[in-house]
Homo-oligomer: A and B are copies of this chain.
Amino acid sequence: MLCQLRGTVDDSKLPGIPQGPMPFNLSWRASIRYYSTSLQGSKLFPVKELTTHDILLQSRFIYQPAAGLVHWLPLGLRTYRKLQAVIRKRMDQAGGLEMELSSLSSKNLWEKTKRWDNNELFKFKDSKYRDYCLVPTCEEEITNLIGDLCSSYKDLPLLTYQIARKYRDELRPRGGLLRGREFLMKDAYSFDLTKEDALRSFDNVNEAYRKIFEDLKLPVTVANADSGSIGGDLSLEYHLIHKSGEDVLFECNSCQTVSNVEKCQSLPEKGFKGAKEAECQYFINKDRNTLIIMYYPKGRTLTPRYIMDEIPDIDFSIDEEMALAMFKNESEESSSFLVKEIIRVIDPRVTSNTNMPDLKVLYHRNSMFTFTDIPIVEAVAGERCYECEKGTLSEHTAIEVGHTFYLDKKYSSPLDCTVVNEKNESTIVYMGCYGIGVSRLIAAIAQTGRDEVGLTWPQIIAPYQITLLSNKTSNEENLDVVAELLSSFDLQVDGRDGKFSMGHKLKQSKVAGIPLQIIVGKHFPLIEIEVRSPIQHSQELKDLYKRKTWDWEIQESPQTAGCSEKHLVHLTGLAQVVDLLLKCL
């Protein structure tokens, strides 16, 4: 297929091919209409039974050389680049300065933030026995860099970001892209002089995220989240709701608050009389002089951190048996100066109707305190929202695709990232960090958008907007005319000869999720358009159709797999109709 392969279709549309001032000779664009089928493969396969990951593999978006690793093939790379461009645009608008940090990071920085002892870090030594890791995120490196390069409040606020590979020695890599060992992440970091500024930066990036998902026409759910190991005390997650998701969210039908299960507190449903049986767990505080006993309904999952606001000094590293031993020990040995306290935390589902377990320690009534109004178990669907105390919680499974954190001084303090303020005093900066899992997002979009015929993509990130096909009765010149007419779109021409039937070529294009299949055939100069996904006609399209300036028929709900509607349009109006259809997608 030499003659057909030398050159590619109009790749000037690909992000990465610069436009504008660069001196481009465009003659190569129009002259080449064929694309390489070599790496797109030519076999049809039974899509219906396949996992989304397998469709991505079989339709050759990606190749998987080993568990959790991915090679991006030409088709997948186009989607991957276009998604990067969508993100880049909104991060730039938000004032983000793009950079690219090294994938290697030295041990010393990670020791300062106490993150070196992490089993999921890929670690290795160089030939001089120095230790490195492959970066899972870049808080250490960027904080160190900004601390080095910026010295004054005049350099702030600062928002930096990159779209770069990250690494995690994931024990159970899943689906290649969803949970990979090497993955593409957009990570951003904000640096501010004051907490208020930092919170404004946090809002600014969350607003950019909103626009990114709007550009992608994705129904994203924003959830309150627990900050986990990244740290900080304000954190939002971005999710695509889907039955295959691994995250659990709760949504209130009254105040609309959505929270990750790890962050969601709930009250018992109205009229609940109390659990039948309670169980309890014992904790001790850091000073070893207070025993904390948490009572909760038997069988529910205890979430002791919900009590942290009231009792911030619980030592979670001490287990129950040890806690009891320490408390008893302390009680015996210590002098009477020491007040020995017991704090009981009783989940609101535990009431006077509930059978309580026996206490394992002796106590004086005077030294016992009780909290009864703080929920300390994971929510379940149907319970009442703790935020508004009115609505009912419903449960969703979801795929997490983004996460934003307000970090406060968690990294800037140990890494000594300071600037001088207006009074020339050295002050530690306030940070935020913000991630979007780019490769994961592609997998999530593929997963939530696929149907029985194959993939469907938001047109802004489809590998091509159009596949142009011709059947045997068509001649080369007609195909040329149409390709030229549509040259402003991101188009591939399936120029494979008679060995593949029209049906075969159409199916391949639909499996790959190309939004429009355009067929040059025997009705020329009437051209057939198949629309891959269901669309809502815009007013503009409806108006134009009514005017009937040229031949144009719409066949709604045709009985064709992977085709929501067909158009038969005269050449004269083709480009305009295609443009309007793409805008509806």
Q: Which residues from chain A sit less than 8 Å from chain B, CB to CB?
A: 1-2, 5-8, 11-24, 28, 36, 38-39, 41, 60, 63, 65-66, 69-74, 77, 80, 82, 84-85, 88-89, 92-95, 97-106, 119, 122-124, 126-128, 141, 144-145, 148-150, 154-160, 165, 167, 169, 171, 181-182, 197, 204, 215, 460, 465, 488-490, 579, 582-583
Residues of B within 8 A of A182 (CB): 102-104
* A208 → B minimal CB distance (Å): 11
Q: Which of A7, A15, A22, A490 has the most chain B CB atoms closer than 10 A to its own CB?
A: A22
- Cross-chain pairs A/B with CB under 8 angstroms, 11 sampled: A5-B158, A6-B95, A15-B15, A16-B85, A21-B489, A38-B154, A65-B144, A70-B102, A74-B99, A127-B169, A127-B171
* A414 → B minimal CB distance (Å): 17
Is the pair A17, B89 in contact by a Cβ cutoff of 8 Å? Answer: yes
Is the pair A93, B124 in contact by a Cβ cutoff of 8 Å? Answer: no
Is the pair A102, B65 in contact by a Cβ cutoff of 8 Å? Answer: yes
Residues of B within 8 A of A104 (CB): 66, 69, 167, 181-182
How many identical subunits does the complex contain? Answer: 2
Residue of B nearest to A153 (CB): B1
Is the pair B21, A97 in contact by a Cβ cutoff of 8 Å? Answer: no
* A163 → B minimal CB distance (Å): 9
Is the pair A583, B97 in contact by a Cβ cutoff of 8 Å? Answer: no
Residue of B nearest to A84 (CB): B16
Contacts A124-B124, A582-B21: A77 and B95 contacting too (C-beta < 8 A)?
no
CB-contact partner of A21 in B16, B128, B157, B465, under 8 A? B465
Contacts A74-B99, A77-B99: A124 and B127 contacting too (C-beta < 8 A)?
no
Residue of B nearest to A70 (CB): B102
Is the pair B105, A65 in contact by a Cβ cutoff of 8 Å? Answer: yes
**Cα A182 to Cα B92 with chains together (Å):** 26
Residues of B within 8 A of A19 (CB): 13, 19-20
**Cα A18 to Cα B16 with chains together (Å):** 7
Residues of B within 8 A of A23 (CB): 215, 460, 583
Residues of B within 8 A of A128 (CB): 171
**Cα A396 to Cα B81 with chains together (Å):** 41
**Cα A71 to Cα B144 with chains together (Å):** 12
**Cα A215 to Cα B17 with chains together (Å):** 14
Residues of B within 8 A of A24 (CB): 89
Residue of B nearest to A71 (CB): B101
Is the pair A149, B88 in contact by a Cβ cutoff of 8 Å? Answer: no
Q: Which of A18, A69, A103 has the most chain B CB atoms closer than 10 A to its own CB?
A: A18
Is the pair B11, A145 in contact by a Cβ cutoff of 8 Å? Answer: no
Residues of B within 8 A of A73 (CB): 99
* A475 → B minimal CB distance (Å): 24
CB-contact partner of A88 in B17, B65, B66, B100, under 8 A? B17
**Cα A19 to Cα B19 with chains together (Å):** 7
Is the pair A60, B181 in contact by a Cβ cutoff of 8 Å? Answer: no
Residues of B within 8 A of A70 (CB): 102
CB-contact partner of A149 in B8, B20, B39, B80, under 8 A? B39
The 9 A-B residue pairs whose C-beta atoms are closest, nearest first, are A124-B124, A15-B18, A6-B95, A38-B155, A72-B100, A19-B19, A69-B102, A18-B85, A71-B101
Residues of B within 8 A of A149 (CB): 39, 41, 60, 63
Residue of B nearest to A35 (CB): B97
Is the pair B93, A7 in contact by a Cβ cutoff of 8 Å? Answer: yes
* A379 → B minimal CB distance (Å): 33
Residues of B within 8 A of A15 (CB): 15-18
* A10 → B minimal CB distance (Å): 9
Residue of B nearest to A171 (CB): B127
Is the pair B101, A103 in contact by a Cβ cutoff of 8 Å? Answer: no
**Cα A579 to Cα B22 with chains together (Å):** 10
Residues of B within 8 A of A119 (CB): 127
Contacts A85-B22, A124-B124: A72 and B99 contacting too (C-beta < 8 A)?
yes
Residue of B nearest to A184 (CB): B100
CB-contact partner of A13 in B20, B126, B197, under 8 A? B20
Is the pair B85, A99 in contact by a Cβ cutoff of 8 Å? Answer: no
Is the pair B13, A21 in contact by a Cβ cutoff of 8 Å? Answer: yes
**Cα A311 to Cα B123 with chains together (Å):** 47
Is the pair A16, B16 in contact by a Cβ cutoff of 8 Å? Answer: yes
CB-contact partner of A158 in B20, B36, B66, under 8 A? B36
**Cα A300 to Cα B154 with chains together (Å):** 62
**Cα A95 to Cα B6 with chains together (Å):** 4
Is the pair A102, B71 in contact by a Cβ cutoff of 8 Å? Answer: yes
Contacts A77-B100, A84-B16: A65 and B7 contacting too (C-beta < 8 A)?
no
Is the pair B102, A160 in contact by a Cβ cutoff of 8 Å? Answer: no
Is the pair A8, B92 in contact by a Cβ cutoff of 8 Å? Answer: yes
**Cα A488 to Cα B22 with chains together (Å):** 11
Is the pair A39, B160 in contact by a Cβ cutoff of 8 Å? Answer: yes
